[in-house]
Amino acid sequence: MRVKLTLLALALAVLLQAQIPDDPVAVFTEHPRLFLAPERLKLLRRERQRVSPRWRLFESAMPGTAAPGDGGIPEPGFAAALYYQVSGDQAMGRRALGWALGGGRDLRQLALVFDWCQDLMSEAQRKELAARLQTGIAGTPPGESIAAVRGRVLAAVALYDHVPQAPQRELERVVRSWWLGRMAPALRAGRGVVPRADAYALYEILHALRDNTNVDLREACPAFFKDFPIEHLMSYYPAPYSAPENEYYIGATPQPGDPDLRQAALSRAAELAMVAYDTNAPSSQVLQGWLTHDLFLMRGSFAVPYEFLWANPYQPGLSYYHVPLVYYNPEFGRLFIRSSWDETAAWFGAFDGVMQLFRDGRAALLDPRAARPPLPLQEALVCFGHTTRKFQVTLDEEQAVFVVGLEPRRTYAVEVDDEEMFEAASDTGGILALTEIPHGRPIGVRLK
């Protein structure tokens, strides 16, 4: 069944690649185009009218931007332009323009100010800012990181009908060369070209393209996007981190250490953007249930605009307790296991070439060469196979078995007491899932 589904996904991707060149990637919307579709803008304005908690937080954060570069809001162009679109406060819109025309360099924010403050600009200001966006798009060589592509996509969408050719060429290049030619084939091949830290930038690209060109990049690799929201959820360490402004969940990183709170904020923003992108998907409904706890509502000056822009408090959600405690993605060689959904849970992760164990409030790297006994985690048992190929296990009902630390993409002969020998293959991360192990009695397992 897995092979059939993989072949079907590949066939759909090839079909998409054959169809897209026949239809130009063209912007068909009016300003504001970026993230503020009519329904979302209506929702945000209603939040202001009812003086919702998120609006109060956003409003209280804005007086810090008294002048460009004054050390107030960390992203003054984005925040002030959003405030203007929702409130109609022209002074705030002019503040956003002042930042953009007074030396602002962030292409993403410049695009948002150009798009959201159109009716405040003089013709001279419009030409000046359009020229700067065009320079950002035409820069060579084009940045190919997700964050760099995001800035160019937003600039091209905002600028689309203001200058000839350059925005159209960039959107075509991003869709056909960067995504269909490079990123989607890599994802289908199981290569981790979308780091967890780039999730938010990726979803800004997805929103900008689908909302304005009707191109949904997910269609080229549906299996990746089906699993991605749940992987994002399961790759959090269980215990929240207490910051002065609010609590954060911290996403797993290959080298655990002091948390990056800006990245933690963007991680939550990514989940809010995922829910907004596909509100009916089961994974979105689970994420919405995860996002509704007020303790984690973002209050810091960097994060407040993202919280206000993407959150939808009226969207129903499902309890994340419905999510299994074991997440395994053999295509990318990633395994995340929790002992429970409590904040005191133990957590194990094998991803990006590392293994980690989170316990008693801290994450620690595990040496794959060290011999250690199997690790029981409620719904799964983790065996460490780099130095040990014989295990004695007693499995509870429905408990899964994973052997980690093996050679990637290697076939092993598996001997189980009183059972016939069978073959099983490790994945790209050296993880072997053993699905044919008897439960409820002590058994020996040997790998060759």
pLDDT bin (cut points 50, 70, 90) of residue 4 is very low
Could you tell me whether strands 400-404 and 432-434 are parallel, antiparallel, or unpaired per DSSP bridges? antiparallel
pLDDT at residue 370 greater than cutoff 90: no
User: Rounded to the nearest 5°, which phi and psi values hold at 21?
Assistant: -60, -20
* Architecture of the domain spanning 21-321: Alpha/alpha barrel (1.50)
Domain ranges within the chain, ordered by starting residue = 21-321, 324-447
Burial 13-33 (b: 16+ CB within 10 A, else e): beebbeebeeeebebeeebbb
Q: Are 394 and 438 in contact (CB under 8 A)?
A: no
Pair 210, 244: CB distance under 8 Å: no
The partner residues of 313 in beta bridges, in order of sequence, read none
Closest C-alpha to 249, from 76, 257, 260: 260
Euclidean distance between CA atoms 11 and 418, whole angstroms: 42
What mean pLDDT is reported for the chain?
A: 90
Whether pLDDT at 15 is above 50: no
276 has pLDDT over 80:
yes
Identify which of 260, 264, 267, 239 has the alpha carbon closest to the alpha carbon of residue 362. 239
Average pLDDT over residues 152-181: 94
pLDDT of residue 141: 58
CA distance 388 to 154: 51
In this structure, what token pair is assigned to residue 204? Answer: 């800004």
Give the mean model confidence (pLDDT) for residues 382-395. Answer: 88
pLDDT of residue 436: 81
Q: Kindly tell me if the per-residue pLDDT of 362 is higher than 70.
A: yes
Binning pLDDT at 50, 70 and 90, where does residue 138 land? confident
Contacts of 242 (CB under 8 A, 6+ apart): none
Asked whether residue 443 carries a pLDDT value surpassing 70, the answer given is yes
Single-letter amino acid code for the residue at 318: L
pTM greater than 0.75 (yes/no): yes
Q: Which of 142-146, 178-182, 425-429 has the lowest mean pLDDT?
A: 142-146
Question: Given this model, what pLDDT does residue 148 score?
Answer: 94
- pLDDT tens digits for 214-241? 999 999 999 999 999 999 999 999 999 9
pLDDT in tens, 242-254: 999 999 999 999 9
Confidence band (pLDDT; 50, 70, 90) for 143? low
Q: With contact defined as beta carbons under 8 Å apart, do 290 and 270 qualify?
A: no
Under the banding of pLDDT at 50, 70 and 90, the label for residue 22 is: low
Whether the pLDDT of residue 16 is over 60: the answer is no
For residues 139 and 124, which has the higher predicted lDDT (pLDDT)? Answer: 124
Strand partners, 327: 336
- pLDDT for 391 equals 87
- Lowest mean per-residue pLDDT among 60-64, 97-101, 383-387, 408-412: 60-64
379 by Cβ neighbours in 10 Å (0-12 / 13-18 / 19+) ranks as middle
Give 397's pLDDT tier (boundaries 50, 70, 90).
confident
| pLDDT at residue 18 is higher than 80 | no
Instruction: Judge whether residue 26 has pLDDT over 60.
Output: yes
